[in-house]
């Protein structure tokens, strides 16, 4: 089967690593430029970051078909598995791993305040189930595309109502003072409004040129979406440049629990799917949705709540670096074990 990932997408981790290096270099060479960008904010939302996030998220939201939710009753076990993993297991295991590693195992390597921010960034990743890249992972695993669409659409609707309360609850458990106004504003700005814009644009294009018109626009916007992601990485690591040069070990420390979380959640879901006797084209995308993260939302909320220079923002960006190679390895595993579900 031909891979939906082009050469650029397959090497996304490499490009992110290069952008990390570029961001650190620019942050040291031109700190005044990043200081000026940091001042461009309104209601704790940085305007430059907001533009980059919208550039990344809007093409993803175009793919969401809310009309597909009417088929939610068909084969409900796969959807139930996704929802249980995304909302009842994953956020809590992520918070537990963050606490365990940065309060216990890594306590001697990281200052307590910084550790708290790293835990917060991990929590924000854990309560943001993936929206866009799931379509790629599902296609690579030969998942049922219509069922994947239903799963993503239902998750996005739940995210509108569940993200802020769940994030606030888990952040509160880590002794972080939650600014609820900023958290709710972030959900409105980065979930509700892009989803509404995507649904309205999709409806207009369907009435004019059908599904082919939607796919043409998604294809045209794809380079801008990836460019927005890479520009965001440069920006965030530019703000973190001094800390990274002083403590490069921290990126590696953050990556360890994030990697354990990804593999752990996948295998919990995968073996549950086998016990539920799901077909492979339902089981694989259901497990991959639970494993992947809506890192664009996590990054935006981390910046809004804690600032561009925060450890929380750094932790969410390290999540981007970890996710692509981990997900590709899990797709390969799912394809090799297809016979388990026959």
**pLDDT the model gives residue 2:** 44
In a domain, 2, yes or no: no
Residues of the chain above pLDDT 90, percent: 27
Domain span at 305: 9-336
d(CA 58, CA 158): 18
| SS3 at position 293 | strand
In a domain, 342, yes or no: no
Average pLDDT over residues 140-149: 80
Burial letters for 122-152: b for 16+ Cβ neighbours within 10 Å, e otherwise?
bbbbbbbbbbbbbbbbbbbbbbbeebbbbbb
In a domain, 4, yes or no: no
Q: What is the pLDDT of residues 269-301, one digit of tens each?
A: 999 999 999 999 889 988 998 888 887 778 878
With a cut of 60, say whether residue 5 has pLDDT above it: no
d(CA 23, CA 42): 24
**pLDDT the model gives residue 3:** 47
d(CA 41, CA 183): 15
Domain count across the chain: 1
Q: Which of 3-7, 21-25, 139-143 has the highest mean pLDDT?
A: 21-25
**pLDDT the model gives residue 87:** 93
Phi, psi (degrees; rounded to nearest 5) at 178: -90, 120
Q: What is the pLDDT of residues 50-77, one digit of tens each?
A: 888 788 778 877 877 777 666 666 678 8
**pLDDT the model gives residue 1:** 41
In 255-320, where do the E strands start and end? Answer: none
With a cut of 50, say whether residue 228 has pLDDT above it: yes
**pLDDT the model gives residue 92:** 96
Q: What is the pLDDT of residues 158-185, one digit of tens each?
A: 888 888 889 889 988 776 666 677 777 7
Q: What is the pLDDT of residues 103-139, one digit of tens each?
A: 999 998 899 999 999 999 999 999 988 776 677 788 7
Does residue 203 or residue 71 have the better pLDDT? 203
**pLDDT the model gives residue 9:** 60
Q: Which of 182-191, 213-222, 271-280 has the highest mean pLDDT?
A: 271-280
In a domain, 331, yes or no: yes
Task: Name the average pLDDT for the chain.
Answer: 84
Phi, psi (degrees; rounded to nearest 5) at 68: -70, -15
**pLDDT the model gives residue 91:** 94
Nearest to 218 by CA among 152, 145, 128, 135: 135
**Residue 89 · residue 265 · CB < 8 Å:** yes
Q: What is the pLDDT of residues 70-102, one digit of tens each?
A: 666 667 888 899 899 999 999 999 999 999 999
**pLDDT the model gives residue 314:** 87
Does residue 29 or residue 174 have the better pLDDT? 29
**pLDDT the model gives residue 177:** 67
**Residue 234 · residue 54 · CB < 8 Å:** no
**pLDDT the model gives residue 7:** 58
CATH number assigned to the domain comprising residue 216: 1.20.1530.20
Show the tokens assigned to 275.
């016990």
Name the one residue in this structure whose structure tokens are 């995968």: 270
In a domain, 3, yes or no: no
Q: Which of 57-66, 148-157, 208-217, 266-275 has the highest mean pLDDT?
A: 266-275
With a cut of 80, say whether residue 234 has pLDDT above it: yes
């Amino acid at each position: 089967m031909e891979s939906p990932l082009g050469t650029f997408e397959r090497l996304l981790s490499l490009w992110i690593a290069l952008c990390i290096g570029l961001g650190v270099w620019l942050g040291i060479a031109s700190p005044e430029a990043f200081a000026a960008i940091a001042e461009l904010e309104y209601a704790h939302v940085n305007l430059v970051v907001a533009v980059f996030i919208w550039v990344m998220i809007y093409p993803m939201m175009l793919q969401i078909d809310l009309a597909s939710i009417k088929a939610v009753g068909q084969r409900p076990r796969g959807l139930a598995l996704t929802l249980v993993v995304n909302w009842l297991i994953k956020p809590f295991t992520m918070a537990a791993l963050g606490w365990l590693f940065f309060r216990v195992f890594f306590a001697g390597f990281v200052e307590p305040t910084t550790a708290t921010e790293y835990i917060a960034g991990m929590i924000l990743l854990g309560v943001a189930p993936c929206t866009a890249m799931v379509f790629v992972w599902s296609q690579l695993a030969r998942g049922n595309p219509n069922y994947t669409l239903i799963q993503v659409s239902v998750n996005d609707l739940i995210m509108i109502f569940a993200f802020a309360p769940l994030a606030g609850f888990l952040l509160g458990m880590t002794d972080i003072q939650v600014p609820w106004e900023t958290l709710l504003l972030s959900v409105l700005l980065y979930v509700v409004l892009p989803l509404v814009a995507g649904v309205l644009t999709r409806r207009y294009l369907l009435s004019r040129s059908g599904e082919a018109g939607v796919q043409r626009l998604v294809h045209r916007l794809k380079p801008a979406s990836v460019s927005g992601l890479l520009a965001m990485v440069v920006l965030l690591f530019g703000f973190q440049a001094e800390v990274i040069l002083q403590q490069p070990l921290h990126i590696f420390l953050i990556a360890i629990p994030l990697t354990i979380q990804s593999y752990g959640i996948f295998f919990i879901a995968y073996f549950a799917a086998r016990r539920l006797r799901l077909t492979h084209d339902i089981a694989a995308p259901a497990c991959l949705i639970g494993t992947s993260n809506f890192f664009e939302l996590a990054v935006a909320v981390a910046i809004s709540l804690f600032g561009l220079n925060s450890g929380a923002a750094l932790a969410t960006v390290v999540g981007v670096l970890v996710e692509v190679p981990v997900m590709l390895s899990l797709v390969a595993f799912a394809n090799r074990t297809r016979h388990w579900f026959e």
